[in-house]
Amino acid sequence: MTRRIRFPLMAKLLLWLLVHLAVLAGAFYLFVAWQLRLGLDSLLSGTAGERLKNVGDLVVSDLRQTPRQEWPEIVNRHAASLGLEVALQVSSGVWITPLSAVIPANVDQRMKSLRRPDPRPPRGPEEFPRERGRPGGGPPGGPPFPEDLEEERPPGLSGDRQGARPVFLLRGDDGSGYWAGVDFPLPEPRRGQPGHGLLILKSKDLSGGGLFFDLKPWILGGLAVLAISLILWAPFFFGITRYVTRLSRATEAIADGKFDVDVGSGRRDELGSLGASIETMASRLDRLVRGQKRFLGDVAHELCSPLARIQTGLGVLEYGLPPGQQERLASIEEDVGELSRLVSEVLAFTKASTAPGSVRLEAVDLAGILQVSINRECPGQVAEVVIPEGLAVTADRNLLARALANVLRNARRHGGNGCRISISATRRGEMVELRIADDGPGVDAADLPRLFEPFYRPDAARTREAGGSGLGLAIVRSAVESCGGSVRAETGAPGGLVLVFLLRGGVLLGI
């Protein structure tokens, strides 16, 4: 059976956010491409047209202030400042400054399709067909009529007083670049020439030095849209992930037997309802577990008196039985003793887990209390102890001693007298990590999470003789947690079992 790969919710939401931003970026790109497919002439109605008009007006202004023979220098100077190739055509086929590149066919066709005014006629008496007040015309020196001086201007071209006007923007069909044409009135039209010229600007790319297509505002606009989208998403994204993380930690704490959880159920949505349900569930589980432990403790306490009376009665009965019945009596006494020890362990377990108010936390010398437990539970066994001098933990001395004794007793019971025990302790910031390892048979990895459950025994130790009552490690966990610490089990290398205690550090007086 293949194992399904799980992705954290935060990764999923982040991936969805990236997909959302990618879709926005793709939509923005398609919009720009669609805008360009409509034809570059559409850009002339916007800021590109204004920029080209300003360039044409500036060129015309400079041309007005210089003689015609200096116009090529003016055009070349503007070409250098713009970073583009600029040419000036004063009439069809007549260039003041020619282009170095061959004009593409589509650009040449566009230039020829532009309507230009008729050439200026030569000035003379025939220019004035009539004199003011006389239908036959006036003398050559007479003033002409104003309407006789007005030239017929074709539609679509700007007049002398209207300034420059962009007339086309397109890409050369031979891939030679992008071309723009600006119509403008000639400052000094010569005889036989139209009163308008054409300024040609050529660029290798669409931007045209920022004149044709300024990509920066588009990029800034796109980034602004993405930023606004990200800002709108951020509270939703971080709010959900933060709350889900809090729910995950709360459920992990409940699984570890810590029912005093607070997930902050202030949300008014489905997640808030889930958080409130988790808190309610934790509260009910706490009452249920505490009630079970209290009931277990009460039962164990009530069993103490009849067990004591039975032991007393067996002791009295021993003197009145014949020798042949002594063995049966000894077997009964053994069973009663085992039952008495079980009741004592149950009482110890319930006391450690249900009476936290009786715990007295103090600085305990770790090496000293370990040595006492080793001498009592593992006399004559090989035990390697590596603990820094003066290292102390904050714990209840009696509870910690009981927890250490249970661990060492289990190591000897399952590993035998030849089992080697290795004990080490190191400081981890404000905490102290204590590791107790043995080279015994160990426990399967699947059984490690359940070792600290009450009355649980692994498959290899199901009998009472081999595995005890199943309360030893449960008492260890309750005692350590009552001291404000934690304990976990690991598989040793190359074998055996490792119990890892994490306790708060302490300071011994006089150290």
DSSP 440-467: SS---GGGGGGTTSTT---GGG-SHHHH
Residue 337 is predicted with a pLDDT of 78
pLDDT at 161 over 90: no
Model confidence at 160, pLDDT cuts 50, 70, 90, reads very low
The beta strand positions in 60-151, using DSSP E, are 85-91, 94-97
Q: How many CB atoms lie within 10 A of CB 430?
A: 8
Q: Over the stretch 10-39, which tens digit does the pLDDT of each residue have?
A: 676 677 777 777 877 777 777 666 665 556
pLDDT, average across residues 373-397:
86
Tokens 């103490």 label which residue? 304
Model confidence at 295, pLDDT cuts 50, 70, 90, reads confident
- DSSP string of 45-58? GTHHHHHHHHHHHH
Nearest to 425 by CA among 469, 455, 395, 446: 395
Model confidence at 162, pLDDT cuts 50, 70, 90, reads low
Please report which helix (H) or strand (E) contains residue 171, including its range: strand 165-171
Mean pLDDT for the chain overall? 76
pLDDT, average across residues 257-284:
81
Domain with CATH 1.10.287.130 in the chain: 262-354
- DSSP string of 143-177? PPPHHHHPPP--TTS--TTT--EEEEEEE-TTS--
pLDDT at 410 over 80: yes
pLDDT, average across residues 281-299:
78
Residue 219 is predicted with a pLDDT of 76
CA 170 – CA 167 distance, rounded (Å): 10
CA 113 – CA 102 distance, rounded (Å): 18
Check whether domain 360-506 has CATH 3.30.420.340, yes or no: no
Residue 435 is predicted with a pLDDT of 92
Residue, of 218 and 238, whose pLDDT is higher: 238
Domain with CATH 3.30.565.10 in the chain: 360-506
CA 96 – CA 114 distance, rounded (Å): 19
Residue 66 is predicted with a pLDDT of 86
Q: How many CB atoms lie within 10 A of CB 474?
A: 23
Residue 197 is predicted with a pLDDT of 84
CA 187 – CA 196 distance, rounded (Å): 9
pLDDT above 70: percentage of residues in the chain = 78
Q: Over the stretch 423-438, which tens digit does the pLDDT of each residue have?
A: 999 998 889 999 999 8
pTM of the model: 0.48
Residue, of 457 and 419, whose pLDDT is higher: 419
Residue 503 is predicted with a pLDDT of 92
Is 302 exposed, middle or buried (CB count within 10 Å of its CB: 0-12, 13-18, 19+)?
A: exposed
CA 452 – CA 450 distance, rounded (Å): 5
CA–centroid distance for 278 within its chain: 26
Residue, of 410 and 470, whose pLDDT is higher: 410
Residue, of 295 and 9, whose pLDDT is higher: 295
Rg (CA), the chain: 49
Model confidence at 254, pLDDT cuts 50, 70, 90, reads confident
What is residue 483's three-state secondary structure?
coil
Residue 148 is predicted with a pLDDT of 40
CA 53 – CA 184 distance, rounded (Å): 9
Residue, of 63 and 264, whose pLDDT is higher: 63
Q: Over the stretch 338-355, which tens digit does the pLDDT of each residue have?
A: 777 777 777 776 766 655
Beta partners for residue 349, in sequence order: none
pLDDT at 68 over 60: yes
Over the range 367-397, which residues count as b (16 or more CB within 10 Å of their CB) and which as e?
Answer: bebbeebbeebbeebebeeebeeebbbbbbe
pLDDT above 90: percentage of residues in the chain = 4
Residue 502 is predicted with a pLDDT of 92
Residue 9 is predicted with a pLDDT of 58
Beta partners for residue 386, in sequence order: 424
Strand 421-428 with 383-386, pairing: parallel
What class has domain 262-354? Answer: mainly alpha
pLDDT at 166 over 70: yes
Q: Over the stretch 192-207, which tens digit does the pLDDT of each residue have?
A: 555 778 889 898 887 8
The beta strand positions in 1-112, using DSSP E, are 85-91, 94-97
Residue 34 is predicted with a pLDDT of 67
Model confidence at 112, pLDDT cuts 50, 70, 90, reads confident
The beta strand positions in 396-454, using DSSP E, are 421-428, 431-438
Mean pLDDT is lowest, of 96-105, 257-266, 283-292, 485-494, for 257-266
pLDDT at 257 over 50: yes
Residue 353 is predicted with a pLDDT of 62
